Chains A and B, each alone.
Chain A
Amino acid sequence: MPTVNNGGTRIFQYIITVLVLLTLNFFLPRMMPGDPLSYLLGDPGADAPMLLTEDMRANLLEYYGLDKPLGAQYWEYLSGLARGDLGWSIYYNAPVGSVILGRLKWTLFLGGTAAAIYVALGIVLGAVSTWRRGSKLDVGLLISIFSLGSWPPFFLGMLLIIFFSFKWGMFPIGGAQSAEAARIGGWKQVVDVLRHWFLPCLALVLSYLPGIYLITRNAMLSVLGEDYVRTARAKGILESLVLLRHAMPNALLPVVTTVAMRFGFMIMGTMFVEVVFAYPGMGTLIYEAGAARDYPLLQGAFLVTMVFVLALNLLADALYGWLDPRTRRASA
């Protein structure tokens, strides 16, 4: 559980974190052994930069500002970022910013819908388990959900492709849409996009459902011992209503925090699943950038992912304050 800080310290903390990440993003490539140009030109192990004449080298160094002192370079890097300039991707020969924009929407679509589904499903199943606690249904849910959740997302994805796509031919084997349907547009395209979305989404839902389910179940069980729940029962309210109206709202608080704190963890799953399904999102982009040694792209994609996760965390913090009046009073 995060300690409940007041808003000011919280935001200050995020600013520090972003600064640490920016600094790391700036210095890490520069700490690597070898020529800074070889890093910019792609493969640090390659001899290619050695073929440059002294003049060309000097020009290139000047062009990228690599001949300036480190402090000046850092300042330029920060002011470039402030203007939205993330650098130039060697692999795609395009600005990093626009490459990322093209990919971000798919990750948001896949990750967002999957998150909505597993959070909702996890809460419902967790509540059902609590309602029938100790029964065969509860134990069955607990064991089966955990058995599913132990599969590494990438392995689960591979199995889904093998069976649903190759063996049974029910779904496309990868990508986010087919060129054919994208050209036709309209309903055809919508159906096509959904067919491509289904399996990766299923892999993500199965991987992250257990976490939400278990937290809901634990939170509900611990709330059930509280006095106000006993009071509600004593008034003769139906057990299902006690759970829904009295236990659930309080039990959902830890669920909200955990979902928020796990965004970073869920990014990991989305990344694997994207790679396995060749889904053209941020995860695949980071994977490709790493494989092609396109360091500017890797840095840009990393930075955007991090800032995005941090922004979501901040949002969840705000949401928590709104959901739980007690923290509001404490911070006032």
Chain B
Amino acid sequence: MPETKKILVLEDDGLLAMDMEDFLIDEGYAVLGPFSTITRALEALDKSEVDFAIVDLNLNGMFSFPVIDALQARGIPLIVCSGYAELPEIKARLSGLPLLPKPWNAARLSSLIESVFV
């Protein structure tokens, strides 16, 4: 049996987080989180090994760049989930990271996971 991949999820909206967590578990992944703050996500990243990450860009008005930078520094692949991804100045800072527009849909996330993580 193949090893279950662990995905870190950073999403501040409790219902969306719940929805994504269930989706990922149904898809056969293990979920670390979901975390709702940058601090919690960074702490978890220090303590645990993760294979991939899905990060919401806008957390209650705060951009999650510290987590994005930390993931990139560790070479952990990630998907950025955001309703703000269309803004050109923000998009420039994401420098080619795969984007999942909000509200996300399952088929899109599935295919993104396939192309980015597998």
Partners in one complex: no
Q: Which residues of A contact B (CB under 8 A)?
A: none
Q: Which residues of B contact A (CB under 8 A)?
A: none
